[in-house]
Amino acid sequence: MILSGWESVFFWIFSIAAILAGLLTVMARNAVHSALFLISSLVSVAALFILLGAEFIAGVQILVYVGGVMVLFLFVIMLVNVGAEEAGRAAIFNRPPQIVATLVFLALLALVLIVYVIPKGPQVQSKAAGAEKQQQVDAARAAREQKMDVGATGVSRVSKETERVGTSLYTYASLPFEIASLLLLVAIIGSVMLARTFKQEAAVDDVDPEVLKTTASPTDSAKS
């Protein structure tokens, strides 16, 4: 699985974008900025999925993760009214053990990167062998493309990846699929129940809201 040419350019662009956006997600002071940076990171990772040939998963990621989960995050940030919570830079990075631990882990990460990015031993013996290997990769890609169907316009090719993933989901993974749909049902019911106000709960059971307020939070007396 070797990317080459423009694919490698896009790989580096999207991977550096994903890492930078992830870093900014964690470092942003404002929660809305964090959400937007996370959206950028998720879209970059979806582009990496497309580079890896998983178009269906990229589409699912953008529709479900970005379009559903992140929009839910933004709604909750709006409801919870984060606002000036992070105003005035909270001192999160000033204690010596913290700095030492961070430096140690960064050194470990740099070591791992150096060991893995620089390949061991000669990968390409000579220019001729390199060109031959490139030809093999291109030939394999061309053979793969020949097997794909031609698109409706006659210009591009349509891959069967989505069809294979769908077949796999409905034949080999049909039981987990049904269990996942049950899980989603439970999550829907649970989240609706968790986010109800006192008035809504009282309206369901025809109970006086005041009774619910006094019995629902017995810990308030413990705190005071």
Identify which of residues 122 and 154 has a Cβ nearer to another protein in the complex.
122
Residues between 162 and 181 that touch another protein (CB under 8 A): 164-165, 168-169, 172-173, 176, 180
CB of 154 to another protein, least distance (A): 26
- Closest to another protein by CB, 144 or 152: 144
C-alpha span between 4 and 210 (Å, rounded): 67
- The only residue of 80, 107, 204, 211 in contact with another protein, by rule CB under 8 A: 80
* Residue 202 within binding range of another protein, rule CB under 8 A: no
Distances (CA, A) of 74 to 31, 32, 84: 9, 7, 16
Question: Angle 209-216/198-205 helices, nearest 10 degrees?
Answer: 120
Shortest CB 1 distance to another protein, Å: 4
Residue 211 makes contact with another protein by CB under 8 A? no
Distance CA 55, CA 47 (A): 9
CA separation for the pair 8, 53 (Å, rounded): 14
CB of 23 to another protein, least distance (A): 6
For the chain, the farthest-separated pair of C-alpha atoms sits apart, in whole angstroms, at 84
CA distance 46 to 222: 48
User: How many beta carbons lie within 10 A of that of residue 47, not counting itself?
Assistant: 20
Q: Which of 72, 150, 158, 203 binds another protein (CB under 8 A)?
A: 72
Q: Considering only 83-91, 146-154, 202-210, which stretch makes contact with another protein by CB under 8 A? A: 83-91
Q: Which two tokens stand for residue 176?
A: 């987990």
Q: Is residue 3 within the footprint of another protein (CB under 8 A)?
A: yes
Of the candidates 170, 195, 207, which has an alpha carbon nearest to the alpha carbon of residue 76? 195
Kindly state whether residue 191 participates in binding another protein, applying the rule CB under 8 A.
Answer: yes
For the chain, strand residue ranges (E) read 149-150, 157-158
62 binds another protein (CB under 8 A): no
Residue 126's SS3 state is coil
Per-residue x/- marks for another protein, 95-134, CB under 8 A?
Answer: ----------x---x--xx--xxxx-xxxxxxx--x----
- Residues 144-163, one symbol each (x = binds another protein by CB under 8 A, - = not), give -----------------x--
Closest to another protein by CB, 26 or 152: 26
